[in-house]
Structure 1
Amino acid sequence: MTIFSRIVAGEIPAHKIAETDDYLAFLDAFPTTTGHTLVIPKKEVDYLFDLEDELYMGLMAFAKRIAPAIEKAILCKRIGVAVIGLEVPHAHVHLIPLNSMADMNFSNKMKPSQEELSETAALIRQHLSL
Protein backbone atom coordinates (compact mmCIF):
# COMPACT_ATOMS: atom_id res chain seq x y z
CA MET A 1 0.00 0.00 0.00
CA THR A 2 1.46 3.38 -1.02
CA ILE A 3 1.63 6.45 1.18
CA PHE A 4 -1.12 7.97 -1.01
CA SER A 5 -3.39 4.95 -0.48
CA ARG A 6 -2.78 5.31 3.24
CA ILE A 7 -3.83 8.99 2.98
CA VAL A 8 -6.99 7.93 1.10
CA ALA A 9 -7.69 5.35 3.83
CA GLY A 10 -7.28 7.99 6.54
CA GLU A 11 -4.25 6.26 8.08
CA ILE A 12 -2.00 9.25 7.38
CA PRO A 13 -3.25 12.83 7.76
CA ALA A 14 -3.13 15.22 4.82
CA HIS A 15 -4.20 18.78 4.13
CA LYS A 16 -7.08 18.02 1.78
CA ILE A 17 -8.23 20.47 -0.84
CA ALA A 18 -11.06 18.50 -2.46
CA GLU A 19 -12.34 14.95 -2.67
CA THR A 20 -14.79 12.90 -4.71
CA ASP A 21 -15.57 9.19 -4.70
CA ASP A 22 -12.72 8.61 -7.18
CA TYR A 23 -10.18 11.44 -6.68
CA LEU A 24 -8.37 13.37 -3.98
CA ALA A 25 -6.43 16.64 -4.04
CA PHE A 26 -4.16 17.53 -1.12
CA LEU A 27 -1.16 19.71 -0.41
CA ASP A 28 2.31 18.30 -0.98
CA ALA A 29 3.95 18.06 2.47
CA PHE A 30 7.28 19.13 0.93
CA PRO A 31 6.23 21.59 -1.80
CA THR A 32 8.37 23.36 -4.35
CA THR A 33 6.16 26.45 -3.80
CA THR A 34 3.34 27.40 -1.45
CA GLY A 35 0.12 25.82 -2.72
CA HIS A 36 1.81 22.86 -4.45
CA THR A 37 -1.03 20.35 -4.68
CA LEU A 38 -1.11 16.65 -5.53
CA VAL A 39 -4.10 15.24 -7.40
CA ILE A 40 -4.54 11.47 -7.32
CA PRO A 41 -7.02 8.79 -8.26
CA LYS A 42 -8.08 6.92 -5.15
CA LYS A 43 -7.52 3.66 -7.01
CA GLU A 44 -3.88 2.66 -6.58
CA VAL A 45 -2.25 2.40 -9.99
CA ASP A 46 1.51 2.89 -10.22
CA TYR A 47 1.89 4.61 -13.60
CA LEU A 48 -0.29 7.43 -14.90
CA PHE A 49 -0.48 5.98 -18.38
CA ASP A 50 -1.63 2.61 -17.01
CA LEU A 51 -4.85 4.22 -15.76
CA GLU A 52 -8.01 3.16 -17.56
CA ASP A 53 -9.04 5.89 -20.01
CA GLU A 54 -12.08 6.93 -17.99
CA LEU A 55 -10.07 7.22 -14.76
CA TYR A 56 -7.27 9.13 -16.54
CA MET A 57 -9.68 11.60 -18.14
CA GLY A 58 -11.51 12.03 -14.84
CA LEU A 59 -8.23 12.72 -13.03
CA MET A 60 -7.33 15.44 -15.51
CA ALA A 61 -10.82 16.96 -15.33
CA PHE A 62 -10.62 16.95 -11.51
CA ALA A 63 -7.18 18.62 -11.64
CA LYS A 64 -8.59 21.23 -14.04
CA ARG A 65 -11.26 22.12 -11.45
CA ILE A 66 -8.68 22.44 -8.65
CA ALA A 67 -6.15 24.62 -10.53
CA PRO A 68 -8.27 27.83 -10.67
CA ALA A 69 -8.78 27.75 -6.89
CA ILE A 70 -5.02 27.48 -6.35
CA GLU A 71 -4.44 30.31 -8.82
CA LYS A 72 -6.92 32.58 -7.00
CA ALA A 73 -5.54 31.72 -3.55
CA ILE A 74 -1.81 31.91 -4.27
CA LEU A 75 -0.18 34.87 -6.00
CA CYS A 76 1.32 33.37 -9.18
CA LYS A 77 1.53 33.80 -12.94
CA ARG A 78 -0.03 30.40 -13.67
CA ILE A 79 -0.38 26.85 -12.46
CA GLY A 80 2.21 24.44 -13.77
CA VAL A 81 1.44 20.77 -14.24
CA ALA A 82 4.02 18.04 -13.73
CA VAL A 83 3.87 14.28 -13.87
CA ILE A 84 7.10 12.71 -12.67
CA GLY A 85 5.93 9.36 -11.39
CA LEU A 86 9.13 8.19 -9.76
CA GLU A 87 8.80 9.28 -6.15
CA VAL A 88 5.56 7.44 -5.18
CA PRO A 89 4.28 4.37 -7.08
CA HIS A 90 0.73 5.79 -7.25
CA ALA A 91 -0.35 7.86 -10.26
CA HIS A 92 -0.47 11.56 -9.43
CA VAL A 93 -0.36 15.02 -10.95
CA HIS A 94 1.46 17.98 -9.40
CA LEU A 95 -0.28 21.38 -9.62
CA ILE A 96 2.36 24.00 -8.84
CA PRO A 97 1.88 27.78 -8.56
CA LEU A 98 4.51 29.30 -10.85
CA ASN A 99 6.21 32.66 -10.99
CA SER A 100 9.38 31.32 -12.64
CA MET A 101 10.77 28.08 -14.04
CA ALA A 102 12.70 27.65 -10.78
CA ASP A 103 9.38 26.93 -9.06
CA MET A 104 9.35 23.55 -10.86
CA ASN A 105 12.70 22.54 -9.36
CA PHE A 106 11.95 19.37 -7.40
CA SER A 107 15.41 19.55 -5.79
CA ASN A 108 14.29 22.67 -3.92
CA LYS A 109 11.72 21.44 -1.43
CA MET A 110 10.20 23.70 1.23
CA LYS A 111 9.49 22.50 4.76
CA PRO A 112 6.34 24.36 5.82
CA SER A 113 4.85 23.85 9.27
CA GLN A 114 1.59 21.96 9.71
CA GLU A 115 -0.03 25.29 10.60
CA GLU A 116 1.19 26.87 7.34
CA LEU A 117 -0.10 23.90 5.34
CA SER A 118 -3.45 24.07 7.12
CA GLU A 119 -3.80 27.79 6.39
CA THR A 120 -2.86 27.32 2.73
CA ALA A 121 -5.35 24.46 2.30
CA ALA A 122 -8.13 26.53 3.87
CA LEU A 123 -7.33 29.48 1.59
CA ILE A 124 -7.46 27.31 -1.53
CA ARG A 125 -10.71 25.63 -0.43
CA GLN A 126 -12.32 29.10 -0.12
CA HIS A 127 -11.86 29.53 -3.87
CA LEU A 128 -13.19 26.13 -4.95
CA SER A 129 -16.28 25.95 -7.09
CA LEU A 130 -16.73 22.24 -7.68
Structure 2
Amino acid sequence: MSDDCIFCRIVAGKLPAHRLYEDDLCLAFLDLHPIRAGHTLIIPKKHHVWFEDIPPATSARIMALGQQFARAMKGEWGVERVSFFYTGIHVPHAHAHIVPMHHPHDVSSAAYLKDGIDGFSLPPSPDDSELTKVATRLRQRL
Protein backbone atom coordinates (compact mmCIF):
# COMPACT_ATOMS: atom_id res chain seq x y z
CA MET A 1 0.00 0.00 0.00
CA SER A 2 1.12 3.51 -0.80
CA ASP A 3 -0.11 6.38 1.39
CA ASP A 4 0.16 8.84 -1.50
CA CYS A 5 -1.90 6.64 -3.88
CA ILE A 6 -5.56 7.64 -4.09
CA PHE A 7 -6.65 4.07 -4.89
CA CYS A 8 -4.67 2.60 -1.97
CA ARG A 9 -6.41 5.13 0.25
CA ILE A 10 -9.79 4.01 -1.10
CA VAL A 11 -8.87 0.36 -0.40
CA ALA A 12 -7.90 1.33 3.17
CA GLY A 13 -11.19 3.16 3.70
CA LYS A 14 -9.46 6.54 4.06
CA LEU A 15 -11.33 7.96 1.06
CA PRO A 16 -14.95 7.34 0.11
CA ALA A 17 -16.00 5.46 -3.01
CA HIS A 18 -19.20 3.99 -4.37
CA ARG A 19 -18.08 0.41 -3.77
CA LEU A 20 -19.74 -2.23 -5.90
CA TYR A 21 -17.73 -5.35 -5.05
CA GLU A 22 -14.86 -6.31 -2.80
CA ASP A 23 -12.98 -9.51 -2.03
CA ASP A 24 -9.52 -10.44 -0.78
CA LEU A 25 -7.80 -9.51 -4.07
CA CYS A 26 -9.71 -6.68 -5.69
CA LEU A 27 -12.14 -3.81 -5.28
CA ALA A 28 -14.66 -2.44 -7.79
CA PHE A 29 -16.17 1.03 -7.52
CA LEU A 30 -17.80 3.66 -9.72
CA ASP A 31 -15.52 6.04 -11.62
CA LEU A 32 -15.99 9.62 -10.39
CA HIS A 33 -15.64 10.93 -13.96
CA PRO A 34 -17.57 8.33 -15.98
CA ILE A 35 -17.62 8.03 -19.73
CA ARG A 36 -21.15 6.61 -19.29
CA ALA A 37 -23.34 5.87 -16.29
CA GLY A 38 -22.08 2.69 -14.64
CA HIS A 39 -18.44 3.23 -15.66
CA THR A 40 -16.67 1.03 -13.11
CA LEU A 41 -13.06 0.67 -12.03
CA ILE A 42 -11.67 -2.64 -10.80
CA ILE A 43 -8.37 -2.44 -8.95
CA PRO A 44 -6.05 -4.90 -7.26
CA LYS A 45 -6.05 -4.24 -3.52
CA LYS A 46 -2.26 -4.44 -3.44
CA HIS A 47 -0.44 -1.56 -5.08
CA HIS A 48 0.81 -2.35 -8.59
CA VAL A 49 1.58 0.57 -10.88
CA TRP A 50 1.44 -1.40 -14.14
CA PHE A 51 -1.17 -3.95 -15.16
CA GLU A 52 1.55 -6.34 -16.35
CA ASP A 53 2.85 -6.53 -12.76
CA ILE A 54 -0.46 -7.76 -11.31
CA PRO A 55 -0.09 -11.39 -10.16
CA PRO A 56 -1.88 -13.86 -12.47
CA ALA A 57 -4.47 -14.92 -9.87
CA THR A 58 -5.46 -11.29 -9.28
CA SER A 59 -5.56 -10.58 -13.02
CA ALA A 60 -7.83 -13.56 -13.55
CA ARG A 61 -10.15 -12.36 -10.78
CA ILE A 62 -10.29 -8.86 -12.27
CA MET A 63 -11.12 -10.26 -15.71
CA ALA A 64 -13.83 -12.58 -14.34
CA LEU A 65 -15.32 -9.72 -12.36
CA GLY A 66 -15.20 -7.53 -15.49
CA GLN A 67 -17.20 -10.18 -17.32
CA GLN A 68 -19.81 -10.21 -14.53
CA PHE A 69 -20.09 -6.43 -14.68
CA ALA A 70 -20.39 -6.56 -18.49
CA ARG A 71 -23.36 -8.93 -18.25
CA ALA A 72 -24.97 -6.74 -15.58
CA MET A 73 -24.41 -3.58 -17.65
CA LYS A 74 -25.87 -5.17 -20.77
CA GLY A 75 -28.97 -6.08 -18.77
CA GLU A 76 -29.24 -2.68 -17.10
CA TRP A 77 -28.66 -0.43 -20.12
CA GLY A 78 -29.53 -2.73 -23.01
CA VAL A 79 -26.19 -2.11 -24.72
CA GLU A 80 -24.68 -4.55 -27.18
CA ARG A 81 -21.07 -3.99 -26.10
CA VAL A 82 -19.21 -3.29 -22.88
CA SER A 83 -15.59 -2.23 -23.00
CA PHE A 84 -12.85 -3.55 -20.70
CA PHE A 85 -9.48 -1.78 -20.75
CA TYR A 86 -6.53 -0.66 -18.67
CA THR A 87 -5.10 2.81 -19.09
CA GLY A 88 -3.25 3.99 -15.99
CA ILE A 89 -3.00 7.53 -17.27
CA HIS A 90 -4.04 9.56 -14.23
CA VAL A 91 -3.59 7.29 -11.21
CA PRO A 92 -0.40 5.21 -10.93
CA HIS A 93 -2.21 2.13 -9.58
CA ALA A 94 -3.27 -0.47 -12.14
CA HIS A 95 -6.99 -0.26 -12.79
CA ALA A 96 -9.39 -1.78 -15.29
CA HIS A 97 -12.23 0.29 -16.72
CA ILE A 98 -15.57 -1.36 -17.50
CA VAL A 99 -17.76 0.93 -19.64
CA PRO A 100 -21.19 0.24 -21.14
CA MET A 101 -20.87 1.48 -24.71
CA HIS A 102 -23.87 3.44 -25.94
CA HIS A 103 -21.91 4.82 -28.91
CA PRO A 104 -19.14 3.16 -30.97
CA HIS A 105 -16.71 5.92 -29.99
CA ASP A 106 -17.31 5.91 -26.24
CA VAL A 107 -13.76 4.62 -25.75
CA SER A 108 -12.18 5.38 -29.15
CA SER A 109 -8.73 6.61 -29.93
CA ALA A 110 -8.45 9.83 -31.89
CA ALA A 111 -6.91 7.65 -34.63
CA TYR A 112 -10.41 6.33 -35.40
CA LEU A 113 -12.05 9.77 -35.58
CA LYS A 114 -10.60 11.18 -38.81
CA ASP A 115 -14.11 11.24 -40.33
CA GLY A 116 -15.73 12.73 -37.22
CA ILE A 117 -17.68 11.36 -34.30
CA ASP A 118 -20.37 9.73 -36.46
CA GLY A 119 -17.86 7.94 -38.71
CA PHE A 120 -15.23 5.31 -38.14
CA SER A 121 -11.89 5.67 -39.90
CA LEU A 122 -9.36 2.89 -39.89
CA PRO A 123 -5.86 4.23 -39.34
CA PRO A 124 -3.52 3.52 -42.25
CA SER A 125 -2.17 -0.04 -42.27
CA PRO A 126 1.59 -0.51 -42.49
CA ASP A 127 2.79 -2.65 -45.37
CA ASP A 128 3.33 -6.38 -44.77
CA SER A 129 7.10 -6.05 -44.35
CA GLU A 130 6.64 -3.52 -41.53
CA LEU A 131 4.05 -5.74 -39.82
CA THR A 132 6.46 -8.69 -40.15
CA LYS A 133 9.26 -6.67 -38.50
CA VAL A 134 7.02 -5.60 -35.59
CA ALA A 135 5.73 -9.16 -35.10
CA THR A 136 9.30 -10.52 -35.07
CA ARG A 137 10.43 -7.95 -32.50
CA LEU A 138 7.51 -8.71 -30.18
CA ARG A 139 7.87 -12.50 -30.51
CA GLN A 140 11.57 -12.20 -29.59
CA ARG A 141 10.68 -10.39 -26.36
CA LEU A 142 8.11 -13.00 -25.35
Q: TM-score, normalised by structure 2?
A: 0.68
The question of 1:81 aligning with 2:84 is answered yes
The question of 1:16 aligning with 2:19 is answered yes
Partner of 2:134: none
Q: CA–CA distance in 2 between the matches of 1:105 and 1:7?
A: 28
Read off the aligned partner of 1:16 and give its amino acid letter: R
**1:7–1:39 CA distance, 2 compared to 1 (3 A):** same
Q: CA–CA distance in 1 between the matches of 2:78 and 2:37?
A: 9
Structure number with greater CO (CA < 8 Å, separation at least 6) is: 1
Q: Residues 34 and 74 of structure 1 are in contact (CA less than 8 Å); yes or no, is this contact kept in structure 2?
A: no
Q: Please give the per-residue CA displacement for 1:28-74, whole angstroms capped at 9, x wherever unaligned.
A: 00001111000111111000001122222222122222221222222
Moved over 3 A (4+): none
RMSD, matched Cα: 1.8
Partner of 1:65: 68
* Uncovered stretches (5+) of structure 2, i.e. residues with no partner: 110-142
The question of 1:93 aligning with 2:101 is answered no
| C-alpha deviation, 1:103, in angstroms | 1.4
| C-alpha deviation, 1:77, in angstroms | 2.1
Q: Please give the per-residue CA displacement for 1:60-93, whole angstroms capped at 9, x wherever unaligned.
A: 1222222212222224222111211221111111
- Give the secondary-structure state (helix, strand or coil) at the position aligned to 1:58: helix
Q: CA–CA distance in 2 between the matches of 1:46 and 1:31?
A: 21
Q: CA–CA distance in 1 between the matches of 2:101 and 2:54?
A: 27
Read off the aligned partner of 2:97 and give its amino acid letter: H
Q: CA–CA distance in 2 between the matches of 1:4 and 1:26?
A: 10
Read off the aligned partner of 1:71 and give its amino acid letter: K
Give the number of aligned pairs: 107
Q: TM-score, normalised by structure 1?
A: 0.74
Q: CA–CA distance in 1 between the matches of 2:21 and 2:74?
A: 15
Structure exhibiting the larger radius of gyration computed from Cα positions: 2
Selected match of 2:57 from 49, 54, 57: 54
* Uncovered stretches (5+) of structure 1, i.e. residues with no partner: 107-130
Selected match of 2:40 from 37, 41, 45: 37
| C-alpha deviation, 1:105, in angstroms | 5.3
Q: CA–CA distance in 2 between the matches of 1:46 and 1:59?
A: 15
**1:51–1:59 CA distance, 2 compared to 1 (3 A):** same
